[in-house]
Chains A and B, each alone.
Chain A
């Protein structure tokens, strides 16, 4: 927090005390609010003006306040998105370098896990939600919610389209060591290759463990996985082939 922000926060707090001391009416925050930049005011509304239940406990043993505190990547990527501009190359390189530094690799090297467990993770949107209904990680393992944004198994029709289709991911790319590492890196911190992507940093945040990432990788890359089976033949397709 900058000194300027601290001073503004103090001003707002003082106005509040004055207002509550002299009348029962709510405070008049005009002077304090209009003196702040939009970013400063947003932070003030979140952290000082009771906008959120910040003292709630989180599943990872922290507080909701920490959830709202941005790291460098979040801060930079938010500002870029709000500006509506394309990411410039220098900033993209910085975000990518931050991602590179964040990635920890498994001790025994990058290997595929179990695609069946990976499928459960891909389908499950459970985990890390707080507030009025807190996800209980003791009763249910958090998932990765891949289907919210990606197509995977060609037989699943309820897939999102915010991210690219990953149907046939392994069939199209093979499962070389380089591809295994590449896929691990994307799941751990996709900003390495796609700076300011909307995709979460599953490994960096620890919302998926290294073992879970290996399972999701198997779902993507194992030739036995439904993701890598030929799409089902529909009646229309068969008719078209016959014509």
Chain B
């Protein structure tokens, strides 16, 4: 892949058409279209969850996140309106489906969570150990509220993580290795479960990375998990999967976690995001 200069990448970003509010679609409509257009045991496994999508508790979490986003907070008493999520300062609409991506100011590929940490510490002046930043899990955490708001402003848009920068490509490729990497006392990898189409683990139908219409739902986090009664993040899903695989605990914000997300988002490229989602 040809290397592009920082200037060219910057210009390309400003030339991208803005997302219009009308481009966004309600998550239940996105899911219904996918169900109508595809035969998938995974998408249709819980009639009850599909029915409850319009009453998803994660919609409230997104509302709370919206208030937090625009509120002047932290030692610097600043809102997050100058936070650059990849499409320019304060641009939230359509930002999430283009993450993870390379950021010039940090020289790194970052996912939504690590970018939020960066903005909350650098703009608002929070310390990494402040509860606003440190508490990552649960619907009541600032992190989940903010993530759910930002992600919901990409619902219905196709996943489209940029691959122009050499680091974006390198991280995606390393993430692919991680996804297929078998290890531990059970020889498991992510691919052990997620290359199956229509198969179950116990009573749960697995989503396949090879089916974009399934994979988009699988990676549509934040989602309200009915079994947990909490909104959960991508990093929470990764932690749970590594736990099930009998492998070490994944560290949120680490390059390994971001690489994995780069690969899994690339695998859903073009399929519309369902945000916020509701899962079992």
Contact = CB atoms under 8 A, between A and B. Distances in A.
Query: Does more than half of chain B's interface fall in helix, strand or loop, or is it mixed?
Result: mixed
A52 B251 contact: yes
Interface stretch (A37-45, A86-94, A170-178, A235-243): A37-45
Most chain-B CB neighbours within 10 Å: which of A27, A53, A64, A198? A198
Contact of A160 (B173, B195, B200, B257): B200
A162 B2 CA distance: 41
B249 A52 contact: yes
Given A67-B183, A68-B183, A207-B186, A45 B108 contact: no
B201 A162 contact: yes
B28 interface: no
Interface residues of A, number: 57
Interface string B172-199: 0111111111111111110111011001
A27 to B, nearest CB: 7
A161 B250 CA distance: 28
Contacts of A198: 187, 192
Contacts of B247: 52, 64, 67-68, 130
A30 B182 contact: no
Interface stretch (A74-82, A104-112, A213-221, A222-230): A74-82
Given A27-B107, A51-B257, A60-B185, A82 B177 contact: yes
Contacts, number: 175
Interface residues of B, number: 51
Interface string A127-144: 011111100000000000
B203 A53 contact: no
Q: Which 8 A-B pairs have the closest CB atoms?
A: A51-B256, A131-B249, A28-B107, A64-B248, A42-B177, A82-B180, A38-B173, A52-B248
A69 interface: yes
Interface stretch (B80-88, B216-224, B236-244): B236-244
Contacts of B188: 200
